């Protein structure tokens, strides 16, 4: 199943947010929020205050639970999140972005919009039975979340750092066997 562009974007943003909690924590100040926000081309309200940062940090384990849930549990979580937020899906077109879905107004706090957009994206994954696109990093020491949007489902590591570390380890292991 082909995922909608906004579904992919929302999932990528959620995974990055969740993985920022993997030690060393990389969401510790407003500048890091700015970086994440612009990288994922978020729009709408930004408060740039401590409350917003704290709310985003507290959202990370909530999103982690959703992204790593098995399918039936994810369905329940999505329903609860959308109901709690009184989400109303609306097609919108703004900036350079063609028609896509928003389900909370752009002037709602950022944390609420991120929660609902992630829930909407997960609704697509549950519906399309595409939960296998989400996994935990194959690195034995990392619990980062991996989002695999590749056609051939080849992505196993959460970051290039983890991929490189394991490539080096695999290379050393091979050398040990042969010499």
Regarding 112 and contact with Zn ion (CB under 5 A), the answer is no
Beta pairing class for 90-94 and 97-102:
antiparallel
- Nearest to Zn ion of 54, 136 (CB atom): 136
Say how many C-beta atoms besides its own lie within 10 A of residue 62's C-beta: 15
CA angle 65-152-127, nearest 5°? 45
Among 101, 116, 122, 142, binds Zn ion (CB under 5 A): 142
CA dist 136 → 5, 64, 122, 133, 142 (Å): 23, 10, 16, 10, 8
Q: Total residues contacting Zn ion (rule CB under 5 A)?
A: 6
Asked if residue 45 lies in contact with residue 110, where contact means CB atoms within 8 angstroms, the answer is yes
Contact stretch for Zn ion (CB under 5 A) within 7-15, 27-35, 73-81, 154-162: 154-162
Nearer to Zn ion, 5 or 71 (CB): 5
Interaction between residue 158 and Zn ion (CB under 5 A): yes
Stretch 159-178 residues interacting with Zn ion (CB under 5 A): 162
Q: Which structure tokens are listed for 102?
A: 């928003």
Q: With contacts defined by CB under 5 A, name the span among 48-56, 67-75, 79-87, 157-165 that binds Zn ion.
A: 157-165
Q: Which residue, 75 or 85, is less far from Zn ion as judged by CB? A: 85
Query: What CA–CA distance (Å, rounded) separates 103 from 120?
Result: 8
Q: Which residues bind Zn ion (CB under 5 A)?
A: 137, 139, 142, 144, 158, 162
């Amino acid at each position: 199943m082909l995922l909608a562009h906004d579904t992919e974007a929302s999932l990528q943003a959620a995974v990055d947010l969740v993985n920022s909690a993997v030690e060393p924590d990389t969401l510790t100040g407003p500048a890091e929020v700015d970086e994440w926000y612009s990288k994922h081309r978020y729009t709408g309200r930004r408060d740039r205050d401590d409350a917003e940062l704290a709310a985003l940090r507290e959202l990370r384990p909530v999103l982690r639970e959703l992204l790593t849930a098995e399918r039936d549990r994810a369905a329940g979580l999505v329903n609860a999140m959308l109901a709690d937020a009184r989400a109303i899906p609306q097609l919108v077109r703004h900036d350079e972005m063609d028609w896509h879905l928003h389900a909370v107004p752009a002037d709602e706090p950022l944390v609420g919009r991120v929660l609902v957009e992630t829930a909407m994206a997960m609704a697509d994954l549950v519906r399309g039975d595409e939960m296998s696109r989400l996994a935990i990093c194959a690195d034995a020491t990392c619990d980062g979340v991996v989002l695999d949007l590749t056609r051939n489902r080849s992505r196993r590591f959460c970051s290039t750092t983890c991929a490189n570390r394991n490539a080096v380890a695999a290379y050393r292991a091979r050398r040990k066997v042969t010499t």
